[in-house]
Homo-oligomer: A and B are copies of this chain.
Amino acid sequence: MTGIRAKARLETTTEIKRLAREQIASKGAANLSLREIAREMGVASSALYRYFASRDQLLTVLIIESYDDIGGMVERADANCSRDDLVGRWRAVSQSLRTWAITNPSDYGLIFGTPVPGYEAPTDTIAPALRYTNVLLHLLADAQAAGCKPLITVPTTKGVSREYKRVRANLEIKLTDEMILAGLAAWAALFGAISFELFGHVDTVFTDPEAHFRALTDMLGTQMLGMK
C-alpha cells in the first residue's frame, strides 16, 4: 500500500461521504441512495461497497463524524472564554450548539432525532458522543468549585439520590445532587428548544427564534450557576 492507492481510496471515501451529506441535506437520511451517489460519481453502484459495507455503515460513519464536529465546535466555543467567566462559557456553549444545529440540521437530526429503526448505535459512537457532554460537565464542576449554587432546589428523594450517585460514579466528577439536576434540566431544555425549532414545532410562532433562545439560555444559566 504505497501512497497512490491509499490516497485515491481516501479521496473516493471522502467524496462518497460528501455526496451522502448532500443527499441527506436535500432529501433526508431515509432517502439516502447509494445508487444515486454512484450515478453522480459516474461509477457502478456495486463499486461503493468496496468502501462501505452497507448503507447503515455509511450512516454510522457520518454520525460519528457529526459527533466529532459538534464536539469540536463546543470545545472551541468554551475554550475561547476566560475560565472563570462561567456565564460567558455557558452562553458560548449553548449558542454554538444552536448555531451548529441550524447550520447542519440534517446532521442534528441524525444524532438527536428519531433513531433509525433496527439500527443499533455501534460502540464506536460512544466516545465521540461524550465530547460535547464533557464540556458541560466541566463547566458545572468549575461552577461548583467557584461556589455557585443552583437557585432553585427541590427536596431530592431517596431514589433520585441513588440515581445521581450512579451518575457521579460514571462521570468521575463529584457534583452535588442539586448541580446534577440543574445541569440535566438545562441540558434537556437546551436540546428541547433546539429540536422544537428545527423540527418545526415553533416556526409558526416565532419570527426571530434566536432572541427567544438567548433569553431562554440566560434564564437557564441563572438557574444553574446561581449566585457566585
Q: What residues make up the interface of A, taking CB atoms closer than 8 Å to B? A: 26-31, 109-110, 112-118, 121, 126, 129, 151-154, 156-157, 159-160, 162-164, 166-167, 170, 181-182, 184-185, 187-193, 195-196, 199-201, 204-208, 211-212, 214-216, 218-220, 222-223
Contact = CB atoms under 8 A, between A and B. Distances in A.
Chain A at the B interface: mostly helix, strand, loop or mixed? helix
What is the total number of copies of this protein in its complex? 2
Contacts of A157: 211, 214-215
A188 B206 CA distance: 15
8 contacts: A109-B114, A121-B200, A129-B201, A154-B218, A157-B211, A162-B211, A188-B196, A192-B195
A205 B204 CA distance: 36
A181 B216 contact: yes
Contact of A205 (B118, B170, B181, B182): B170
Contacts of A110: 114
A66 to B, nearest CB: 13
Contacts of A211: 157, 159-160, 162-163
Given A185-B189, A188-B193, 13 more contacts: A26-B117, A29-B114, A30-B116, A113-B114, A152-B219, A154-B218, A159-B211, A167-B206, A170-B205, A184-B212, A185-B220, A190-B192, A195-B195
A27 B117 contact: yes
B154 A152 contact: no
**Which interface residue of A192, A211, A212 has the most chain B CB atoms within 10 A?**
A192
Contact of A166 (B31, B116, B200, B207): B207
Contacts of A187: 192, 196
